[in-house]
Structure 1
Amino acid sequence: MGDPHPTPATPTAAAPTARPKLRAEALTRSFGRGTRTRFALGPLDLSLAPGEFVCIVGPSGCGKSTLLRIAAGLLRPSSGELSIRTASPRPAAMIFQDYGIYDWKTVLANVRFGLDVQRVPRKKADARARDWLARMGLLDVAGAYPATLSGGMRQRVAIARALAVEPEILLMDEPFAALDAQLRTILQDELLDLTQTTRTTTLFITHSLEEAIVLGDRVLVMSAGPGRIIAERRPPFHRPRTGEVRSAPEFTALKSELWELLRGEVRREAVPA
């Protein structure tokens, strides 16, 4: 066990020469037309440096998931631009709250799915899929079907499937929201260890302030819809870090500060216009 009260990191400036892996500029998204138009997002500016883990928190309905779907190419912005700088033909992989895995495929076939789409030779695809199953502690259930697995195991399958294609950017939309508190903590710690090893650039949407502080290099706070970035905080902990930061006084102080920033926005979202 490490020190239960890790020494806070000394704040350092971001490297000015690092070109962003993801950049959004004046990004907006609306739905409907005319008098029925609903403005869901923006204008919003955002950038992610290579290898950075950025968490976004905000009230329900503020456009967090809309932002992620634009980044994944599942939605087009109404105005503005979101660009991703990568060398890969499949630069981003997305992990959803509801797992998004196929019930009719085995665990191995689910994890291999993106590799099959990329036409990776079967022998190589199987080897890479099994490697990720081993990393996620799932090798023993490679031949099982998702219906036989617990919620935590299914989410591990979803994470393994996303990382097996070796994406340059990982997009995660509240992936642990449906899990109980104990399992959620375990998977947070596993994801923390995994992403610190792979250094995959990650944009992570969550309602949990604790989750954001444990995982994030930066925590961005969004306003009530249409969502804009209204604050940024950097958790003051060295990397590599562990889940033990939860017991540090700096953790509690930052969580309280973030909640004060969010409180008014949550109330605004709850009161009809």
Structure 2
Amino acid sequence: MGEPYPKLEADGLTRVFGRAPHTVEALGPLDLTVAPGEFVCVVGPSGCGKSTLLRIAAGLLRPSAGTLLIRATTPRPAAMIFQDYGIYDWKTVRANVRFGLDVQRVPRREANARADDWLARLGLADFTHAYPATLSGGMRQRVAIARALAVEPELLLMDEPFAALDAQLRTILQDELLDLTQATRTTTLFITHSLEEALVLGDRVLVMSARPGRIIAEHRPPFPRPRTGDIRSTPEFTALKGELWELLRKEAVPA
């Protein structure tokens, strides 16, 4: 992959919520590395700590034990995309996409140009001056993706970004994200419930156990890049999805 060091490295990462005697072990101990330019998908049963892992990576939560290190060359290396879009209803689409650039104090003209470039790439050029309330769910999520990518993050963190969308739209946005991330080679940690999504997008798919979440399996989908959504119809895809489902089912159903 070029660089010898992982972009993200978690070592013995653990997170406990609450105070004794009412503590909940949410995560870990968990070890994880993500190489530069790698797209890693994490799947696991509900409540296994997937989002907790992402929030620690984003700096929104502290680990209870262990470490999570991001090797970065910029002060704000990560951009996060949430399931509920996380965009501001009172800002125009362009102002939303420009938001991270404004925080970084990028000059207005350059920030507008970069925002407009990402809006064009995500098919939103006609909605530059619209407000999010007038957009569909899929378009709102495209705005969130444009906002995250406009800052050219070293690490993209995505927390079930397509979970709220209907199946057809979800497939379209998976394919768009596949194109974008293959073009930008942005290092990505992507949380999802959907095995199909993980296999379409990921260089690696990690399976987490029930809470407290640990990584119990790792698969490398055998589909060379650049790949397209057409891999969904291959027998290998169906077989791997079945294999992962067996693993997940065991975790989702308590013994």
TM-score, length of structure 1 as denominator length: 0.92
2:89 equivalent to 1:103:
yes
The answer to whether structure 1 residue 255 and structure 2 residue 241 are counterparts is yes
Match of 1:246 in 2: 232
Q: Which residue of 1 aligns with 2:50?
A: 64
Q: TM-score, normalised by structure 2?
A: 0.99
Q: Within 1, Cα distance between the matches of 2:94 and 2:223?
A: 36
Q: 2:141 aligned with 1:158, yes or no?
A: no
Aligned-pair distance for 1:90?
1.2
Find the counterpart in structure 1 of residue 79 from structure 2.
Answer: 93
Gaps of 5+ in 1: 1-14
Give the match's secondary structure for 1:143.
coil
The answer to whether the 8 Å contact 2:13/2:27 transfers is yes
2:23 to 8, 23, 37: 37
Give the superposition deviation at 1:27. 0.2
Tell me whether 1:214 sits opposite 2:200 in the alignment: yes
Residue 3 of structure 2 contacts residue 36 of structure 2 at CA under 8 Å; is this kept in 1? no
**Equivalent in the alignment of 2:251:** 265
Taking the aligned partners of 1:263 and 1:148, their CA distance within structure 2 comes to 39
Letter in 1 for 2:133: A
- Residue 224 of structure 1 is matched in structure 2 by 210
Measured in 1, the distance between the counterparts of 2:20 and 2:224 equals: 50
Residue pairs, 1:121-140, within 5 angstroms: 121-140=107-126
Distance 1:207 1:18 in 2: 31
**AA matched with 2:116:** R
The answer to whether the aligner puts 1:185 opposite 2:185 as a matched pair is no
What whole-Å deviation, never above 9, does each CA across 1:74-101 have from its counterpart, x for those lacking one? 0000000000001011100000000000
Q: Paired residue for 1:117, among 78, 103, 106?
A: 103
Q: Shift in Å at residue 17 of structure 1?
A: 6.5
Following TM superposition, the consecutive aligned residue runs of length 4 or more in structure 1 with deviations greater than 4 angstroms are: none
Instruction: Give the corresponding residue for 1:49.
Output: 35
Q: In 1, Cα distance between the equivalents of 2:24 and 2:250? A: 21
CA 1:117/1:16 → structure 2, altered by over 3 Å: closer, same or farther?
closer
> Which one-letter code corresponds to 2:75 in the other structure?
P
Query: 1:34 aligns to what SS in structure 2?
Result: coil
Secondary structure in 1 matching 2:252: helix
- Structure 2 gap segments, 5+ residues each: none
Closer, same or farther in 2 for the Cα pair 1:186/1:201, shift >3 Å?
A: same
How many positions carry a matched residue from both structures? 255
Counterpart CA distance in 2 for 1:45 and 1:259 is: 22
- State the shift of 1:18 in Å: 2.4
Question: Secondary structure in 2 aligned to 1:43?
Answer: strand
Q: CA deviation at 1:216?
A: 0.2
**Once superposed, what is the RMSD of the aligned Cα atoms?**
1.0
Are the aligned partners of 2:45 and 2:193 in contact in 1 as well (CA < 8 Å)?
A: yes
